[in-house]
Every structure is written in structure tokens, then in C-alpha cells.
């Protein structure tokens, strides 16, 4: 790492290790570098050599002592947003300590650094912004994007998560304030899959916002104009995609929270040209399919025998349907027959062939059927065994809808996937109470345990964090040049296989998040194997995939500088 100018006349220090040497800053500059700072854990010898004597309280602490202090302090905060601010502040001061605390308390802290709290953080981003993290590219930067990316100080970036802020979770257009999402996603890449923090780069592309409240807010951090569209928008995205490939030749680009109008076509445009995927379409699909596979194991049923209704017809619903169709085909069904098993409902009712208002991504699931105006009428007519919510419409799964499903299906599978919690189609309690405790339930945001009769259910969270970190790690480990649907199918299958009888006993269709790093390593292994089988890998094939991948995973431990 390059050194920085040093105050107080203390020179930067060359640190020599067995196989390499590097230069680190000293004094206050070292304490201000979150990648190198150890805070009060600098030893007495390090303090002398690195010009830190007098700049820190004299008592030396360990990483373990620091981590215990931090988690106690975080727990003492009065609200989740305060806890989020505390953790992000730590990330800006001491990266190693941040990841040590996050990994050790992943189940507890994931809802803080990511969904649902990150949604509130994005809504308040102009008020809580303290320090820049990642990069911003605006429509005023056209023609200079490669030059701007050259300002990033790290060359070996392997994962970019990029958003234009148009569809942040279920909250809509937040413009530049959607930056909290790429930051949170990349924190999960490191915590769950051990991708090195230095290899992660969050980027927001500022093309304006149509959010009137933000346009009138003096604390809005983006350019105060309405969104650009059409050729001007496409030219900026195109310049960014290829400038990123040039600046970071081995990079994986993850599209995040783009609006429907752009998400599908950008994925279609670039998926066969560069190493990209869309987490809202493909990541959501994989984790949803994994949950369905687990639920079907609980009830000893086949996927190809199910009828699926998806409430919502956007990125998530279409991506889920496409991956379900692939999974059914692997059970031996023809594609047309598999598609016939999946039904979409949008704001105008059931998606059917007779409608003339359907955009392209809905047309593959427009079947021959009389028009139906709403979800309840569709449930009564189609008798689905699986109901998936991807609509962002709070309480759309009414008691009438849920009880109707339970009237003909002994174990209805109910997935209310919309984020954050306030947008969920139903709560866990509503799902269990309306089905006499027979539902197999999962949600996009976490719900607490629910007691019904003599059983206590701890429902699973259908969180993309189960999938995208492992997929990214597998891409990095194999040097894959493309991301394929087969990779997401294998990720889903692997995740489902990690769900145990103990999980089933409490009604959970996903493994505990406490096992996230173990599960991510196995998903990465499955993805890497697909890359090698498909001829997409550029790295040398290892003799033992899992061991090789685990050896690459970042561990948050302090390095000695003397």
C-alpha cells in the first residue's frame, strides 16, 4: 500500500515480511487509515516504531477485548439506525475490527448493516452522511469515466456493486442516497464469503432522481434534476461498463436496485459480453428457489408437481420464474410445460395472453386464461401450492388469501419477500394464524419467532446474502469471464442442501446465518466448478476446490508491523 504524507516529521515506514515488503503510513495518518488502523491494539513496540506514542491512551488492548466493547456499545444504542451509524462509523475507523464484530455476530447484525435497517439509512442518507465511501459517477462525467475510475487507489478490485438508485428495496427512487445499498452489499461479500475489503468497490451512478421530496431537499447529495433517460442514459452506462473492465480487468459487476425499465435490458445487453449479473433478478431467484427446494423436502413433494403464483411481475418475480423453469426442466419437464406452472399477477391482475399491455419480460408467462382482477380471485381459480410475494405491497396476503390456500393445500408454501419489513406482503404471525400453523413460511426481511398452539416457529429469511457472496467468491476463485443461469441453479441447490432437519423442526427453510461463511464457501465451490465445466474459467483448476477457496477467504485479524 502506498504511504501518505506524514505530519510531525515521522517518516513512512517500510515493513518487511517473509515474501514481500510494503510501505505504511505512520503517526496520525496510520490511525486515519481504516485498512491499517488497530486503535488501542497497537503494541508498545509498534507505538514506538510507528510514531504513535502519545497519540493513543497508554493501555494496550487485544482485538478480542475491542470486539467485546464494540458489541456491548452497539447493543446499548436506542434504535437500529443508531446501531447502523455506530457500525458504519467503526467501518470508517477500523476495518478489521468492524469485520471481526460483524462475523462474530452475523445473525444479530446483518439486519442492521443490511435489510431492513439499510433502507431507513438510505432514506436518511443526506442527514447521516459523514465520510465518502466508494465512488460516484454522474451524467456530468461523460467522456471522463475511465479517468475518474483511475482515482480509485486500489488496482485489484474484483467486485463492483453499482446502482443508479431508482428502485431501492421497496422504497422506490432514492437517487444518490441509494449508495447505502452497494456499501451494505459489499460488507456482506466480506463478512459472509471472505472477499477482501480492498477488492470491493461500491459505485453509484447519478443520473438524477424523480423523487420530488429529494429534489427539494437541500441535504440531497446528488445532482438536483430529474432522471435522464434514453440514449444519454445508455451512453453513460456503456462508458462505465467498459471503463470498469479496462481499469479493473478481473472485475465482476453486480447490478443492484435498477428500475424495471433498465434492469432487464441492461442484463440482457451485457450478460454475454462482460462478467455481470443482476442480484434483484438472479440472486433473488436463487435464494427463492433454494427455499422452495427446502420446503418441498419438508413436505416430500416434487417441484414439477407445483403450481406457483407470483404476486408481482417485475425483476424479482420474473427472475424467480425463470430459475424455477430451469429447475423443472432438470426434473424432466419441457420448457413450455414448466412455464405453464408459473403465473404472474401485476397491478392490473393476472398476466394472461389476451392482455395487450404486457412488456417483454412478462410475455413468457402470459398464459391462456380468463382475466382475473386480483390475487384472491387468482388463488381461488388457480389453486396454487406456492405463493410468492415480490410486489412491495404491504399486507397483500390477506387472511382470505391465506386461508383459501390452506383450504385445499395441507402445507401451503408462503414466501412474502418484499423488503423492508414495512413492505412485506404478510407477517409470519399472519401466515401461521391464517393457515392453522400449516404454512411453510419465509420472508425477505426478518421476523421473530411465532408460537401457534404447541409449536414455536422460527421462520427463515429469504435473504440474497445467502447467495450473492458465494457466487462472487466462486467467480473470483475461478477467474470466470461470465456469470450464467447454471451457476445460480447450482448455488440454489447447494444452499438448499445445507438446510438441515434441525432447521426444518423450527419451520426454517434456510440454514442459520451463523453458518454463512461455511455455506458461502460451498456455493463458491459449486459456482467455480460450473465455470470450469463451461470453459469460462481463466485460473488454474485446483485439485481440491473447497480447500482452495477457503484458503482465499479474508479473516479479520491484526497484522504485526514490527
Catalytic positions are 114, 185
CA-CA distance, 255 to 461, in Å (whole number)? 22
> Measuring CA to CA, how many Å separate 308 from each of 339, 385, 396?
10, 6, 16
131 touches 89 (CB < 8 A): no
CA 376 to chain centre: 31
Q: What sign has the CA pseudo-torsion 458, 462, 468, 473?
A: positive
464 touches 285 (CB < 8 A): no
Q: Given the DSSP bridges, would you call strands 349-350 and 386-389 parallel, antiparallel or unpaired?
A: unpaired
CA-CA distance, 321 to 285, in Å (whole number)? 8
According to DSSP, the residues that pair with 451 across neighbouring strands are 456
CA-CA distance, 388 to 288, in Å (whole number)? 9
> Measuring CA to CA, how many Å separate 246 from each of 147, 205, 250, 278?
11, 18, 9, 20
CA-CA distance, 530 to 488, in Å (whole number)? 10
Beta strands in 25-180 (DSSP E): 135-138, 159-163
Amino acid at each position: 500500500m502506498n504511504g501518505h504524507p506524514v505530519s510531525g516529521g515521522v517518516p513512512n515506514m517500510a515493513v518487511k515480511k517473509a515474501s514481500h515488503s510494503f510501505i505504511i503510513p505512520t503517526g496520525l495518518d496510520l490511525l486515519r487509515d481504516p485498512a491499517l488502523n488497530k486503535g488501542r491494539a497497537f503494541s508498545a513496540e509498534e507505538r514506538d516504531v510507528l510514531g504513535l506514542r502519545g497519540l493513543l491512551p497508554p493501555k494496550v488492548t487485544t482485538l478480542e477485548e475491542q470486539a467485546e466493547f464494540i458489541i456491548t456499545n452497539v447493543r446499548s444504542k436506542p434504535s437500529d439506525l443508531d446501531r447502523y451509524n455506530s457500525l458504519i462509523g467503526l467501518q470508517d475507523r477500523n476495518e478489521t475490527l468492524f469485520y471481526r464484530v460483524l462475523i462474530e455476530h452475523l445473525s444479530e447484525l446483518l439486519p442492521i448493516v443490511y435489510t431492513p435497517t439499510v433502507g431507513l439509512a438510505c432514506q436518511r442518507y443526506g442527514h447521516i452522511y459523514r465520510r465518502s465511501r466508494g465512488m460516484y459517477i454522474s451524467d456530468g462525467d461523460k467522456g471522463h469515466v475511465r479517468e475518474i475510475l483511475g482515482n480509485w487507489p486500489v488496482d485489484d478490485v474484483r467486485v463492483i456493486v453499482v446502482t443508479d438508485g431508482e428502485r431501492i428495496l421497496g422504497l422506490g427512487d432514492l437517487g444518490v442516497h441509494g449508495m447505502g445499498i452497494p456499501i451494505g452489499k459489499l460488507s456482506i461479500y466480506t463478512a459472509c464469503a471472505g472477499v477482501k475489503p480492498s477488492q470491493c468497490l461500491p459505485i453509484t451512478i447519478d443520473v438524477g432522481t424523480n423523487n420530488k421530496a429529494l429534489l427539494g431537499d437541500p441535504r440531497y447529495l446528488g445532482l438536483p434534476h430529474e432522471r435522464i433517460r434514453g440514449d444519454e442514459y445508455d451512453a453513460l452506462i456503456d462508458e462505465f461498463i467498459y471503463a470498469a473492465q479496462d481499469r479493473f480487468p478481473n472485475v465482476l459487476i453486480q447490478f443492484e436496485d435498477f428500475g424495471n425499465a433498465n434492469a432487464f435490458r441492461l442484463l440482457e445487453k451485457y450478460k454475454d459480453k462482460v462478467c455481470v449479473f443482476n442480484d434483484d433478478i438472479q440472486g433473488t431467484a436463487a435464494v427463492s428457489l433454494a427455499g422452495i427446494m427446502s420446503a418441498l423436502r419438508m413436505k416430500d413433494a416434487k417441484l414439477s408437481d407445483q403450481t406457483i403464483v407470483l404476486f408481482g411481475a417485475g425483476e424479482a418475480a420474473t427472475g424467480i420464474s425463470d430459475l424455477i423453469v430451469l429447475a423443472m426442466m432438470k426434473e424432466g419437464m419441457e420448457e413450455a410445460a414448466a412455464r405453464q406452472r408459473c403465473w404472474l399477477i401485476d397491478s392490473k391482475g393476472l398476466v394472461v395472453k389476451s392482455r395487450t399491455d404486457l412488456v417483454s419480460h412478462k410475455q413468457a408467462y402470459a398464459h391462456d386464461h380468463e382475466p382475473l382482477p386480483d390475487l384472491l380471485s387468482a388463488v381461488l381459480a388457480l389453486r396454487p401450492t406456492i405463493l410468492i410475494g415480490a410486489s412491495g405491497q404491504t399486507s397483500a396476503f390477506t387472511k382470505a388469501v391465506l386461508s383459501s390456500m390452506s383450504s385445499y393445500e395441507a402445507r401451503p408454501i408462503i414466501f412474502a419477500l418484499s423488503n423492508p419489513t414495512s413492505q412485506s406482503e404478510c407477517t409470519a404471525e399472519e401466515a401461521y394464524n391464517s393457515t392453522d400453523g400449516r404454512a411453510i413460511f419465509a420472508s425477505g426481511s426478518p421476523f421473530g419467532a411465532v408460537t401457534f398452539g404447541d409449536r414455536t416457529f422460527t421462520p427463515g429469511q429469504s435473504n440474497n446474502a445467502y447467495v450473492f457472496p458465494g457466487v462472487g467468491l466462486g467467480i473470483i476463485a475461478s477467474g470466470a469471464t461470465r456469470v450464467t443461469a447454471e451457476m445460480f441453479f447450482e448455488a440454489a441447490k447447494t444452499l438448499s442442501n445445507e438446510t438441515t432437519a434441525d432447521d426444518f423442526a423450527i419451520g426454517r427453510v434456510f440454514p442459520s446465518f451463523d453458518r454463512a461463511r461455511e455455506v458461502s464457501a460451498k456455493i463458491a465451490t459449486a459456482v467455480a466448478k460450473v465455470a470450469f465445466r463451461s470453459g469460462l474459467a481463466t485460473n488454474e483448476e485446483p485439485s481440491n476446490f473447497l480447500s482452495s477457496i477457503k484458503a482465499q477467504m479474508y479473516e479479520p485479524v491484526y497484522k504485526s508491523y514490527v
